[in-house]
Copies of this chain bind each other. A is one copy, B any other.
Amino acid sequence: MARRSAADKAETHAQIVQHAAEAFRTHGSAVGIGDVMSNLGLTHGGFYRHFTNKDELLVEAVTKSLVEVADKLERAAEKAPPGTALAAIINTYLSLEHLRHPESWCVLATLAPEMARQPGAVRKRLDGALQQYMHRLSRFLPGATDAERAKHFLVLFSGMAGAIAMARVMSDKDMREQILAMFRAYYLATFASTPSGGA
């Protein structure tokens, strides 16, 4: 209709990013701008008051997704009894809740290959967000140096993302959930059997 206050604009912007972050994780990055806007009761034309183009939205949505999940995992780690922080992270990441709700969980398990296919400039920014994610979470991993903890982070998180993605390909629900439990047991045994991942 007409001009909105600066606060309203900021809220609309945040809502666009939030809804896009969910829609991209559920349906892939091909989700249309019109879909995102109409779900907020807006029309597609207004989109360009907030973003120069769709790539911009993808970068913000993926970044938001990573921050959101880092928040969740950090919260789980900090609530866990001493010495069990990493186990709590693994249990949270490889949960039924994650398997069943792609829209509010790890973007790597739903969009990693699409991220890898983005043009250079976009990929650089996605990569940057991923580095932030790693820097926030690698402190929970075992290792004497930052480099060692980063190494363990990459192995664990790429493995768990692959596990969720693989489980989601399975068409039988029971099999999918059984396999998830198996993955969980494996990663707990391999990465968190000796209490070593405390903050």
Residues of A within 8 A of B (CB): 27-28, 30, 108-117, 120, 123-124, 126-127, 130, 151, 154-155, 157-163, 165-172, 179, 182-183, 186, 190
Q: Are A113 and B109 neighbours in the complex by a CB distance under 8 Å?
A: yes
Give how many copies assemble into the complex.
Answer: 2
User: What 3 A-B pairs are tightest by C-beta distance, nearest first?
Assistant: A162-B162, A158-B166, A116-B168
Q: Are A182 and B154 neighbours in the complex by a CB distance under 8 Å?
A: yes
Report Cα–Cα, A126/B154, bound state, in Å: 28
Report Cα–Cα, A126/B123, bound state, in Å: 29
Residue of chain B at shortest CB distance from A111: B113
Main secondary structure of the interface of A (DSSP, over half): helix
Report Cα–Cα, A121/B190, bound state, in Å: 36
Contacts of A179 in B (CB 8 A): 154
- A113-B112, A113-B114, A158-B162 are known contacts. Are A127 and B168 too (CB-CB below 8 A)? no
Distance (whole angstroms) from the CB of A66 to the closest CB of chain B: 11
Q: Are A161 and B169 neighbours in the complex by a CB distance under 8 Å?
A: no
Within 8 Å by CB of A162, from B120, B123, B160, B169, lies B160
Within 8 Å by CB of A114, from B28, B162, B170, lies B28
Q: Are A165 and B161 neighbours in the complex by a CB distance under 8 Å?
A: yes
Q: Are A27 and B117 neighbours in the complex by a CB distance under 8 Å?
A: yes
Residue of chain B at shortest CB distance from A108: B166
Contacts of A117 in B (CB 8 A): 27-28
